[in-house]
Structure 1
């Protein structure tokens, strides 16, 4: 090869290298196969968007220079999530295998950290949590039989419940009260939000009554109604804020629309009810009349499926962090978070979608 040919070859290689290195990075979201429920030709309602299993899914990738200065970032996994709550751009995950703590994922700052109080405020088995608008954090620790409360900076405020021998499996807070699912005493306990004093409980019933709670697992509040998943009877019971029984949705069974192990529960603004079933490993959606509209998930085989799911939560306020995953043919109405105790996708994020109308 003469010098001129050799020179042209080198120039060609350099040109290709420069072109590749300067080309835009492929958007990971655009390369992932879209998972839509229900399957075509039915109208799409739910889209699987993404999943979060460790800090690698959140924290920005380090440059080689940063690694050389501060060292490589430690990978922080989500071990075995149970409860979760999204508020003000942060996802709080109760992890029963973290050793008494939560993962807090900040989507605005792309930071991932563990929250594990020490000393006399140390948690043991935090199952579920609720976060108020001012970032006050309420944690239901079923092993310590307490509701722990921390401020937005993580400073301990107070705890209550053990003296009443409660077994708290979930907590939800409205403008006046703290509602606690007491799975040990088959009831919902209500406490004053300001004084933390016990006020009343419901239902006041006996086994065999239509409103009896055999093992309340989770609760949520929407439109001044308390929705409770009863894992002991395989159904959903609905009460007023004062505890008056309204009705029961679904029943124990293995047919479509039945429930076997209902756990997490969430309700959208139209009062559609989302229920996690840990046995079917899916989320079932009922309308306010109790009719099954749709189910999604299923025994884990690939993205979008579930592996021993425990909690579902609906969020209307943090769409901007996940819109990049949405198929451009659809609008995103709200987010649906699901916690999976096992498998590669510990927290799966779905979107309630509607087709964009063509003008």
Structure 2
């Protein structure tokens, strides 16, 4: 059964009556009912360093009066997102040539940049992943490398340049790390292939070639590991492809089109605890959820600026507790949803 998103004051499931709320409350509340007792609830959004420390002390405020309020770093053009083992949220921002690290548990914030480093300057950080030690791997589509930082933001190495300065990535975008097997996957979008490396940057193999058949790509972008398997956003073939650890094609979901159920402008990709695939559609301003057979289960979101609404959404991440983080890029924020409940039998759809 296809279930359409409920956004307070917007869309309602068939047979449901809208609850009476003030307009102010409508903008800050959103909930979606699924089958059985399952649901997806909007928790909050954040957009600035200031939200890491919302309750500043009395003496901080006294200093603010004397010296002026501090300049907090905002999200400007957020794109990729991941959470590490500490629960820190790591968000790339090409507009500031940096990586925001939000640690809400410890109430800390850090901006990682790599400026004025000659040919090794970080220019347009795009996608991001972490390994088992919380080292941060960031693709830079402009500089043509993958930067590796330790958990504190110290630069460890740059992957993708040979001696002499030439690069072996033309445009690296998606990045995924398999710590167990010591593998780094990087999508080289303009070369229509996935490069498989060890964690020091040695090229081991490649996956794919140009085309629209199984295992072929037309502008591959985002990557996500699903256990040992690799999921690839095959952007201009309007689909998601899955590969086993040997690079063998497993299955694909998606189809061309501009309607719900089609994959029009796929961006971020994630997998929940039940194995369903979440795909951001940037142009339609929503997130679509598919099972492994490619059936659309439901979708949520619409174009706008309120809770549960998006403008040019990009990155997507689901943590171990099924919090769903959506980078709402043009609205300069990240929206956080909580998925809860247990899947009922018979939801998988036709095989």
Q: Is residue 193–residue 206 contact of structure 2 (8 Å, CA) maintained in 1?
A: yes
CA separation in 1, counterparts of 2:212 and 2:256? 15
Q: How does 1:75-224 map to 2 (within 5 A)?
A: 75-87=72-84, 88-98=86-96, 100-120=97-117, 121-162=120-161, 163-175=167-179, 176-193=182-199, 195-203=200-208, 205-224=209-228
RMSD over equivalenced CA pairs, Å = 2.1
Q: Is 2:282 the partner of 1:278?
A: yes
CA separation in 2, counterparts of 1:206 and 1:92? 32
Aligned to 2:328: 340
Q: Is 2:32 the partner of 1:37?
A: yes
CA separation in 2, counterparts of 1:161 and 1:77? 30
Greater per-residue helix proportion: 1
Q: How does 1:13-24 map to 2 (within 5 A)?
A: none
What SS does the aligned partner of 1:56 have? helix
Q: Is residue 28–residue 306 contact of structure 2 (8 Å, CA) maintained in 1?
A: no
Deviations 1:32-82 (Å, cap 9, x if unpaired)? 85311248x975421111001112322133244323246433222111100
What SS does the aligned partner of 1:67 have? helix
TM-score (norm 2): 0.81
Deviations 1:203-251 (Å, cap 9, x if unpaired)? 2x44242321101110111132111111111111111122111121011
Deviations 1:309-331 (Å, cap 9, x if unpaired)? 01110101xxxxxxxxxxxxxxx
TM-score (norm 1): 0.80
Structure 1: gaps (5+ residues): 1-29, 317-332
Q: Is residue 36–residue 44 contact of structure 1 (8 Å, CA) maintained in 2?
A: no
Structure 2: gaps (5+ residues): 1-24, 162-166, 343-351
Aligned to 1:12: none
Deviations 1:79-134 (Å, cap 9, x if unpaired)? 11000111112111101111x10111111221223211233253100001112232
Q: Is 2:307 the partner of 1:303?
A: yes
Aligned to 2:8: none
The verdict on how the C-alpha distance between 1:335 and 1:208 changes in structure 2, with shifts beyond 3 A counting, is: closer
